Amino acid sequence: MAIFRGTGSASTTSDQATIDAVTEKAAEAATSASNAASSASSASTFASSASSSASTATTKASEASASSANASISEFNANAFAAAASTSNANAGASAIAAELSASQALASANNSRASKDLAETAQAAAESAETTATASASTASTAATTATTKASEASASATTASSAATAAESARDSTLAAFDSFDDRYLGSKTTDPTLDNDGNALVGGAFTLTVLMKS
């Protein structure tokens, strides 16, 4: 048996299948990295919206507190007005005409004071309700902001994992291609004459060989 080399290539179907599989995994890893980056962007947007909601809720709570204070002042003024009306009614006994006039004025003042008190109580109740609602909104916004921050962190971790997988897949592909190229440079396949260059047209490397089978007619 002598060494010879005929037509053909050193690559095999198995080698090509390995290269195709590695290339496909690299493409999948790159897609995963892109999807993870998109998720991180969406989570960041959600966190920004939650922060804005929390700021709005805080403003409403401040407004409700101011309304409650104003209602307390109105109630105080109404009580003071009622006291003044009672004093006028006591002084009305000085004369019948003056008493009648004072009584009429006192009645009107009492009615006004009761109406003012009712309005003040209604305003206070509304303010308390608004403050409760604002507190609940602030709590909800805070929870949403925490959730958004967690999602952003998870998305960032997924992007890092996907990037690492893509790097590993590319490294595996490069190693496979390098191994195949090294094998192709050494096993030149079958040739009809002794080769002076390898299959890529480069100078022969040490250990390169061909196989020639001499057949008798």
Over residues 14-24, the pLDDT tens digits come to 777 888 888 88
Tokens 């009492």, located at residue: 110
In what helix (H) or strand (E) does residue 108 lie, and over which residues does it extend?
helix 96-186
Q: Which residues pair with 2 in a beta bridge?
A: 212
Rounded to whole angstroms, how far apart are CA atoms 177 and 183? 10
Which of 164, 166, 160, 162 is CA-nearest to residue 27?
A: 166
- Give residue 213's pLDDT: 47
pLDDT (tens digit per residue) in 137-153: 999 999 999 999 999 99
SS3 204: coil
State the DSSP string of 42-95. HHHHHHHHHHHHHHHHHHHHHHHHHHHHHHHHHHHHHHHHHHHHHHHHHHGGG-
Instruction: Name the least confident of 28-42, 74-88, 108-122.
Output: 74-88
Q: State if pTM tops 0.85.
A: no
